[in-house]
Amino acid sequence: MRFKPFHAPKEFKFKDPDTGFEYRNQTRQGLVKHIITYRQQNRLSPIEFLDAVLENYWCGLPENGGSCREMPLKRGILETIKGGIKLLTNYAYSKYATQAEADRRSDICVSCKYNIFPDKKRFILWGDMVAQETVGSRKSKNHDKLGNCEVCSCLLKAKVFYEGKLELPEDQLVKMRGVNCWQPELTK
């Protein structure tokens, strides 16, 4: 879940999933700092994708009802089939981008507005697991901060290692070029 444009949480609060402690603060930044500090002091691991977790938590609170919308990942059957064929071809030939190249790409993706963490349905979750398997144990330096590309729907953790030519529709290319994405350079 994500807040609709021009909507925000009524209160900045969060219940710790491990201890049940309820954090409260006047600002989002203050709340995030409090959560990080509390968890460090109590020797708890950091909460991955904290911003996305907070927004999803707030959207589930009754006082924020109607202020949020689901963030489904749009991936049609044709896109899934084409993506699957590309993944399997890449896997069969064991062609991967270098670690340095994957790290460079992940630096671009991690700060991109299209790097999202959607709620995934069964078929998309399965497709993402297959994508992750195709790169084995490879991880970019930003692995834990990469979700799915909202434009092409691909799992970015795996895609940053993709080596080969991409075929992307013009509308996707326009969006990607607008954020200086690395993917359009693979269509040439």
Nearest to 9 by CA among 69, 71, 55: 55
**Which 3-state string (H, E, C) describes 96-151?**
ECCHHHHHHHHHHHHCCCCEECCCCCHHHHHHHHHHHHHCCCCCCCCHHHCCEECC
- pLDDT score of 79: 54
- Span of 5-14, 57-66, 72-81 with lowest mean pLDDT: 72-81
Mean pLDDT throughout 50-73? 81
What is the model's pLDDT at position 74?
54
**73-92 confidence digits (pLDDT tens):** 555 544 544 555 455 444 44
Query: Tens digits of per-residue pLDDT, 161-186?
Result: 988 888 888 888 999 999 999 999 99
Residue 66 scores a pLDDT above 90 = no
Q: Which pLDDT belongs to residue 179?
A: 94
Whole-model pTM? Answer: 0.53
Number of alpha carbons in the 13 Å side-chain half-sphere of residue 53: 14
pLDDT tens sequence across 111-167: 999 998 876 665 566 666 766 777 888 999 999 999 888 888 888 998 999 888 888
